[in-house]
Structures are given as structure tokens and as C-alpha cells.
Amino acid sequence: MKVTKKELEKSQIEVTIELSLEEFKPYIEKGALKVSEKVKIEGFRPGKVPYDVLKQKIGEMTILEEAAHIAIMKTVDDIIEKETAPRQPVGQPSVNITKLAPGNPLEYKVTLALLPMIEIGEYKGLKLKVQEAKIDKKDLELALQDLREARAQEKLVDREIKDGDKALVDVDLFLSKVPIEDGNHKNLPIKVGKDYFVPGFDKNLLGLKKGDTKEFSLVYPKKHHRQNLADKKVDFKIKINDVYEIVKPELDDKFAAQFQLKNIEELNKALEENLLNEKKRKMDLKNESEMIAAIVAKTKFGDFPDVLVDNESNNLMSELEENITRQGGKFEDYLKHLNKSRNELMLEMMPNAIKRVKSALIIREIAIREEIAPTDKEIEEKIKQLKEQYQGQDNILKMFEEAGYRSYLKNILTNEKVIEKLKEWNYANTGNQQKS
């Protein structure tokens, strides 16, 4: 077997494989057998048709094509593994038959992308400083107000709108006296004091009551998400349908009891602790990101194959779409809100995709260099924890038993171990870091 390798741009390679006629003959026999099992020829049982009879009946190229398929399936994996080592292939290889004719060798070419070469820079002793998480009185006050709003009740009232009220409003938007597309809204809920639509809109509702109408104009901000309205004067016509007073509960022991707490002091303490933990988590992620960025800045990368960046961009898009759906929204509405197509948003995500690819490559390289990996026992313990967490959800429990999931979990745990080691190596006060 003759194998030649050619380097292509963007971390791709092309491998040409040639099987001599002698090497190809066993596969031709297997191909003929497989074809003969599918073809009905009078006087012969399936799988027992002589080669010459079969060739005359269906044509020799049909046999050779089947033989080539069998030969490629048998040889391609070992060749890819040998020719790409120690680098790792990315995505699916492209396989094309380049020579196939009676009485001739078989030749086929494999084109595939590889992880780019990486010259990792300094990743120990960077003497970085952990940014500590802190909360102040204002954070606690805002959190308490959010809790009050979440537990507030709406009371229908027959009076003029005041700050803090909610109103159901019919709204029509016009640009140069022409109705704006998607600018007609019926019974739109507006909370006065929340700057809905555009700064200043809700203030125009103050003093109005049910049945009142009003016309006014506002200039949209220069960086508004609706680009066709940005920095333009928009005319509004509104009608008030209903007015609701938002009645918030008092911050007292009775309010704290709704959260199974004895008094307001316990609520303040629990809320403060939750806020601090959340800020620690976010600050920890920020510290990790800045640490990896510092290593990226000292590292040289080869060209990225398109498939690597495209896959990561698709991952980012899927994560965004899943997050919007989980919150009860529709991704198409989100795109409409941004006034962007899916492809335009994907293009905007490209820099973040490249950033994530670089981070992943660095973590992988450090894991290999430092021989960092979870033990089989650690993997089993993690799977046991997950099984307890998802007890009763058979579809998820079944996934934990798959070999592919073990490989995925091993990669996740390896990444976590690398991050923890990097913290030890690069932060003087790593003991104050909250673990992810």
C-alpha cells in the first residue's frame, strides 16, 4: 500500500492511498460476493454467482465500486490515525475515489482538518491577583425590592396613573406620519418608571386615566436595537385601557415568613449570603477568563481550520437559542428584536468562537504536558452523583451508561482539574478563590 501526505492551508492535510492490484483483489472478491447476494440471476443462488456471469449481467464497475467501498472502510481509519499522529483530527474526513478501473490499482484521497499547531507560552508563575467579590448596601436594597416586586399584587383602580403603576395601553407608532411596521400594540402592559419602549415614554402616561388618549413624540437613542428608528423622531398615539396599582408587601417578619424564615433579619442575612455566593461565582469565572486570556496572549497558534471555528460558532448559537427557549421566548422573535438574520448573528459570534477555541486548545495542551486527567474512580463517583441527581429520569440515566458520555465526562473533569492547577500556579491568594 502506497500512502503519501500533503499539507494544505488552514491546518488541513490530504492523504493519497493507493492499493496495488494484488492488494485490491481480495476486496474485489468481497465486493462481488456482496453484490451477488443482492442480484437475482436465473440458475444461481444468491451469493453463488460466478464473477464472469455477474460482470456480464451488471457490469464490472458496479462490482469495483462495491469493492472500493469495502476497501476504504477497512483501511481508512488506521491510515488516518497513523498519518495525523500526534495531532488530532477535527470533524469528518472527506473521502474521494480518484482511480478505479478494471485491471488497475485503487486510489482514493482523504482530506481532513487537524487541530492547529500551538506553541504555548508561560502558564506558571504569572503572579496574578484574584479580584475579590463584594456586595454593598445598595445590592441588598435592590435585591429586596426585586423580592417585593415578585410578590406584589395588582389592584385595578379608577384614577390617574401614578409612578409605579401598571397600565394596559394601546400604542401606535408613526415615522413621518407613516405607520411603522410592527408598531401597533394592543393592551400592552407598561410599568411606569421602567423606561419601556424608549426613555421618556412611560412618563407621558402620568396623569392619564382609563379611556384617555394622547399623542406625543420622542427621539429614539442613537444605538437603539431597531436600527430603522435609531436617532429618529417617532410619533406615538396611545389609549389607556386599564390602570393597576402595584401593591408591594412590607418588609417585615410576615414577609420573611413567606420564605420560611423567622424574621426580616434572617431574610436579610440569607439574601446577603446568596448575593455574595452569586458574585463569588461570577467573579471566579471572570478571574478564570482573565487568567486564560493572559496565557493566550503568550501563545502562538497555527491556522484554524474553518470547521473548528464553525463548530464553536454553532455551539454558541445553540446555547443562546436554548437559553432563550428555556426562558419561554422564541428565537425567531429574538432575531426580529435585534433586526438580524441568523447568519448575521453567527458572524458577530465569530470572535467569541475563536476566543473559546483558543482557550480549549490551551487547556488541552496543558493537560497533555502535565499529564492531568481524572482517575477511573473519579469518573465513576461523578456518574454516581449524576445518577442520584437525575433519579427517575430514565432517558437521562440511560445516557450515563454510554461510552461516549464517559469520554465527554472525562474531558469535562480534565478541564476542571487543569483550571484548578492553573489557579494554584498563578494566583498568590488562590485560597480565597471560590471553586467553580
| Ordered DSSP codes for 150-212 | HT-EEEEE-S---TT-EEEEEEEEEETTEEEEEEEEEEEEEETTS--SSTTTGGGGTT--TT-
* Lowest mean per-residue pLDDT among 109-113, 141-145, 196-200, 223-227: 223-227
Segment 202-211 shows an average pLDDT of: 95
Q: What pLDDT, on the 0 to 100 scale, is given for residue 130?
A: 84
Q: Cα separation of 426 and 420, whole Å?
A: 10
- Are 107 and 159 contained in the same domain? no
**Per the structure block, which three cell numbers stand in for 200?**
421618556
Residue in 358, 356, 369 with CA at minimum distance from that of residue 418: 369
Q: Cα separation of 100 and 201, whole Å?
A: 73
- Are 157 and 108 contained in the same domain? no
Q: Cα separation of 257 and 259, whole Å?
A: 5
Res 54 pLDDT > 70: yes
- Are 175 and 99 contained in the same domain? no
Q: Cα separation of 348 and 184, whole Å?
A: 30
Query: To 5 degrees, how large is the angle CA 20–CA 24–CA 25?
Result: 120
Question: Which of 247, 264, 288 lies at the terminal end of a domain, its last residue?
Answer: 247
Structural domain contains residue 130: no
Structural domain contains residue 355: no
Q: Cα separation of 268 and 276, whole Å?
A: 12
Q: Taking the CA atoms of the chain, what radius of gyration do you get in angstroms?
A: 33
The confidence band for 181, taking pLDDT boundaries of 50, 70 and 90, is: confident
Res 433 pLDDT > 50: no
Phi, psi at residue 12, to the nearest 5°?
A: -115, 155
Question: Which of 52, 86, 114 lies at the terminal end of a domain, its last residue?
Answer: 114
Q: What pLDDT, on the 0 to 100 scale, is given for residue 304?
A: 93
- Are 198 and 102 contained in the same domain? no
- Are 9 and 108 contained in the same domain? yes
Structural domain contains residue 49: yes
pLDDT in tens, 291-310: 999 999 999 999 999 999 99
- Are 88 and 167 contained in the same domain? no
187: CATH:
3.10.50.40
Q: What pLDDT, on the 0 to 100 scale, is given for residue 416?
A: 95
101: CATH:
3.30.70.1050
Res 434 pLDDT > 70: no
- Are 8 and 103 contained in the same domain? yes
pLDDT in tens, 3-40: 999 999 999 999 999 999 999 999 999 999 988 888 88
Question: Which of 221, 247, 273 lies at the terminal end of a domain, its last residue?
Answer: 247
The confidence band for 114, taking pLDDT boundaries of 50, 70 and 90, is: very high
Structural domain contains residue 282: no
- Are 8 and 96 contained in the same domain? yes
Compare 220 and 223 and report the one with higher pLDDT: 220
Query: Is the separation of the CB atoms in 69 and 34 below 8 Å?
Result: no
- Are 180 and 107 contained in the same domain? no
Res 435 pLDDT > 50: no
What count of other Cβ atoms lies within 10 Å of the Cβ of residue 192?
21
- Are 157 and 237 contained in the same domain? yes
pLDDT in tens, 64-75: 999 999 999 999
Compare 109 and 330 and report the one with higher pLDDT: 109
Q: What pLDDT, on the 0 to 100 scale, is given for residue 58?
A: 86
- Are 109 and 159 contained in the same domain? no
**Per the structure block, which three cell numbers stand in for 215?**
399623542
The confidence band for 429, taking pLDDT boundaries of 50, 70 and 90, is: low
Q: What pLDDT, on the 0 to 100 scale, is given for residue 83?
A: 93
Percentage of residues of the chain with pLDDT beyond 70: 98
Domain residues for the domain of 393 are 372-436
pLDDT in tens, 238-270: 999 999 999 999 999 999 999 999 999 999 999
Residue in 43, 71, 39 with CA at minimum distance from that of residue 58: 39
pLDDT in tens, 324-369: 888 877 888 888 877 788 999 999 999 999 999 999 999 999 999 9
Res 85 pLDDT > 60: yes
Structural domain contains residue 288: no
Structural domain contains residue 258: no
Number of domain units in the chain:
3
- Are 7 and 95 contained in the same domain? yes
Element (H, E) at 356: helix 342-370
Phi, psi at residue 137, to the nearest 5°?
A: -60, -35
Structural domain contains residue 239: yes
Query: Is the separation of the CB atoms in 233 and 145 below 8 Å?
Result: no
What count of other Cβ atoms lies within 10 Å of the Cβ of residue 24?
22
Structural domain contains residue 379: yes
